[in-house]
Chain A
Amino acid sequence: MDLAESADCLSLDEVAAQLRSLTSSGWMRLRAMARLGAQGLQGWKSDDLLNEALTKLCEGTRAWRRGTHMLVTVKVLMHSIASNERKKNKTGPIDWNVVIDAVQAGASHDDSLGESFSDGLTPEHFADGRMQMEYLGRLVCGDPDARMLLMRLLYGHSGAEVAAEFEWDAKRIDAVRKRLATRLRPLKNLRTTA
């Protein structure tokens, strides 16, 4: 039985009808989320992620619970697809994320290479994290407020919390959000361009 056939989920016709009613600003939000979600997915373009999420909903392999906001449903699904793909990348035979240190690679035959450090993080993890932060930092370069908001968002804070902390009024936080969204628009797949 398709997930979408259960009573507390939208039918496939309802799913299609709801998605057809999506506004232009809704599409903009979803495409912005798709750009972010496609980070680190080898061979995926941002629209691919959104397209896959829409396809799974229309196919009935992923359910849309009644009462759940349309954008939340698609966003959660994109997140789930992206996470699964990242796991596949990590456990697959080829690790696209490894950054080879030329000096170390030439000199070392150390059997421990690739093992986790004692804190559970691999060298690749550090390399990726550093690249991601550098790339994101470049995108908000020259805008201290947008940079601050981005850094706080990375640590799980909300824009409202940042505004309260730095005593930004509503106008200022709105302006910073908008500038951040504009700055993040050229997000590229970090790991394919690295």
Chain B
Amino acid sequence: MNTPKQEPDAFDTLFDTYFEELMAMSDEEVLDGADPAIVQKEGLAMLENAIAEAGKRRLARARSQLDMQNDHQSEIAKPVVSAQAARDFLKKASNDGRYTLAARSLAEMSDEDVLGLYEQLKRLENGDGASKAEAE
């Protein structure tokens, strides 16, 4: 079956042809008695509004990109480790003088809590929260 050919939209056609006619007219004809100073002033006011709006949109876009970047980085930084590996690490850490951990409580902790504690320790190791630890 043949697909019927879509007629071009009359306004789309007119948009192009009418523009050519406006370009063919002299400046005086286009102004048609309007005060050029007022027309210019109104146009520039519109432009300044557009520039201000463009600035706001660029700022919003930059913020959104930064948020996305931060989300992405925190995803990358998240350790990919099994609950068992985290338990082993914490067990070792309980013998490390730098940390105060009760090894016996590890067995009673849920996998989720173990992983949370693992992340906290890793952050401490990487220096995050160091100032907090120092302050305490």
A contact set with B: CB distance below 8 Å: 16, 19-20, 22-33, 36-37, 39-40, 47, 50-51, 54-61, 71, 75, 79, 82-83, 118-121, 129, 132-133, 149-150, 153-160, 174, 177-178, 180-182, 184
Contacts and interface: CB of A to CB of B under 8 A. Distances in A.
Interface stretch (B20-28, B66-74, B98-106, B114-122): B20-28
Interface in B1-42: 3-8, 10-32, 34, 36-37, 39-40, 42
Q: Which interface residue of B21, B32, B37, B49 has the most chain A CB atoms within 10 A? A: B21
B13 to A, nearest CB: 5
Nearest to A22: B43
A36 B18 contact: yes
A20 B11 contact: no
B21 A158 contact: yes
Contacts of A150: 14
Nearest to A120: B4
A20 to B, nearest CB: 7
Contact of B37 (A24, A155, A182): A24
Contacts of A79: 12, 15-16
Contact of A55 (B5, B8, B42, B57): B57
B81 interface: no
B51 interface: yes
A40 B36 CA distance: 30
Contacts, number: 144
Given A29-B23, A33-B15, A177 B29 contact: yes
B46 interface: yes
Contacts of A27: 39-40, 42-43
A42 to B, nearest CB: 15
Contacts of B20: 158-159
B50 interface: yes
B15 A36 contact: yes
Interface in B57-87: 57-58
B44 interface: yes
10 contacts: A24-B37, A25-B27, A28-B31, A33-B18, A51-B49, A59-B57, A71-B23, A156-B17, A181-B21, A181-B29
B130 interface: no
Contacts of B109: none
Contacts of B50: 51, 54-55, 57-58
B22 A33 contact: yes
